[in-house]
Amino acid sequence: MTQTLSRLQWPALFSILLLIALLVPRSFAFILLVPGLIYYGIDFIAAGRLRIPSLSLLFFVVSFCSFAFISCLFSVDFSNSADRALKLLLLLGLGMLAVTGYQTTLGEALRGQKLLVHVCIAVCALTFIDIMTGMPLYNMMSDGVKEIKPHAYNRSTVALFLLIPPLVCLRFAGQNMTLKTVMRDRAMLALGLFLAALLVITESQGAQFTALLFVLFLAFPVRSKWAWRALKLALFAALLTAPLIATYLYTHFVSSDMLQNIAFFHKGAGDSRLEIWYSVAQKIGENPFGGYGIDSTSQMTLDSPMHYWNSNNVLHPHNFTLQLWIEFGLMGAFLGGMVLLSILQVIAATENIALRRIMLANFMGWISVAATGYGLWQSWWIGLSLTILLLWMSLLTNSGQEKPAATSDPKTQKTSKNTTKNTAKKAD
């Protein structure tokens, strides 16, 4: 029963839900987790199998939920933090089961599906046409409640740019994928043209910066162990020194008006973001070890004067590193750093070189958005992040990334290793 559904119905269902989510990005909080949860339930009821989530994923969920509930004890607003911790537990718990569901034949059913790329092309075309024609489609979906501006599509555009890499890799899964084979595909050419057009007209600087980082990190020397060590060290150091970096950026660039003449910086509300980061950093300095509890920023008044933001209250710091610091203190920042390092380790161990490049570029794009755009615990952002995770994990689980079973013949083992090395060299 589950195999028949996987082959015929799951790809179509996922594509429909993906189209809805990209057009209504707030639905990312739950909509693309649904197939994984359904399959997890069917697999348990029909086959009697209770699949256990991977230990790394289980550790991540348990750790962050534990930090969230413990932080309620010293929160500036206990009831607000407790409410957020419960929502986080529910969303991450269901997300963990959904990811586990995708790591079965459900994830395998998505491999090689051209439909996934076609959905992305359709969303790009719809978004581009709607923005260029005055946004009649978005007005219809919002019932014309308020004046609609092009930045209303910012979340959809960011989500699109972050989801396309794993969806493209799923499309070419099962083949000896290289960057050349991807770029020669006609559907990819059409997708690239629409993405370029969307980048020109979008008001999402986050999407533009993500696209820039993606291109830059495709050239990262993924074969070099020293390059990986340097990247890991840089990210971990940046996370642990985030309050100092925020203070330096504000002091040297905003207060001195050095960046005011840069259109990209001003259009992207860079001055107000750096001002928020500086004010949050000052608050972190008052209690760097304990933090103020999960979702505490929305309940506190920042002491520093806010000239560009015009308010002493913010919902979240618009930076995941500062959010970990102000909510959980040094230990929260350290835990976040360990999660980043573990993800980089998985990417570095991926055998296919082209896949390794795309995964790294996609991950750095996610970091850029998380570090400049949205709140870490926003439901739609958690759902989008889990969706990206489940797509990559379903791809790696069903693409032969697991180590093959050991054979009794040493010659066979040696031949297998040599074949793997030769394949990796050709895949670049």
- DSSP string across 7-65: HHTHHHHHHHHHHHHHHSGGGGGTGGGHHHHHHHHHHHHHH---PPPPHHHHHHHHHHH
* Cα three-residue angle 179-362-53, rounded to 5 degrees: 110
Query: Considering the domain boundaries, does residue 202 fall inside one?
Result: yes
Rounded to an integer, the average pLDDT of 89-99 is: 91
Query: Considering the domain boundaries, does residue 410 fall inside one?
Result: no
Q: Out of 68-72, 163-167, 346-350, 407-411, pick the least confident.
A: 407-411
CB under 8 Å to 380, separation ≥6 — which residues? 25, 26, 27, 28, 29, 155
Domain of residue 59 covers 2-219+378-397
Rounded to an integer, the average pLDDT of 352-360 is: 92
Query: Considering the domain boundaries, does residue 36 fall inside one?
Result: yes
pLDDT value at residue 264: 55
Q: What number of other Cβ atoms are within 10 A of residue 90's Cβ?
A: 12
pLDDT at 215 over 60: yes
Residues 94 and 100: their CA atoms lie apart, in Å, by: 10
Query: Considering the domain boundaries, does residue 184 fall inside one?
Result: yes
Query: Considering the domain boundaries, does residue 415 fall inside one?
Result: no
Q: One-letter amino acid identity for 47?
A: A
Q: Out of 79-93, 164-178, 362-376, pick the least confident.
A: 164-178
pLDDT value at residue 403: 38
pLDDT value at residue 228: 96
Q: Comparing C-alpha atoms, which of 241, 227, 310 is closest to residue 271? A: 310
Q: Out of 38-47, 284-293, 297-306, pick the least confident.
A: 297-306
Query: Considering the domain boundaries, does residue 279 fall inside one?
Result: no
Give me the number of domains the chain comprises: 1
Q: Residue 25: pLDDT band by 50, 70, 90 thresholds?
A: confident
pLDDT at 263 over 70: no
Rounded to an integer, the average pLDDT of 406-415 is: 42
pLDDT at 269 over 80: no
Q: Comparing C-alpha atoms, which of 49, 33, 38, 40 is closest to residue 101? A: 40
| Mean pLDDT (the chain, rounded) | 81
Indicate if the alpha-carbon torsion angle 75, 78, 84, 85 is positive or negative. Answer: positive
Query: Considering the domain boundaries, does residue 331 fall inside one?
Result: no
Q: Tell me the three state secondary structure of residue 174.
A: coil
Query: Considering the domain boundaries, does residue 16 fall inside one?
Result: yes
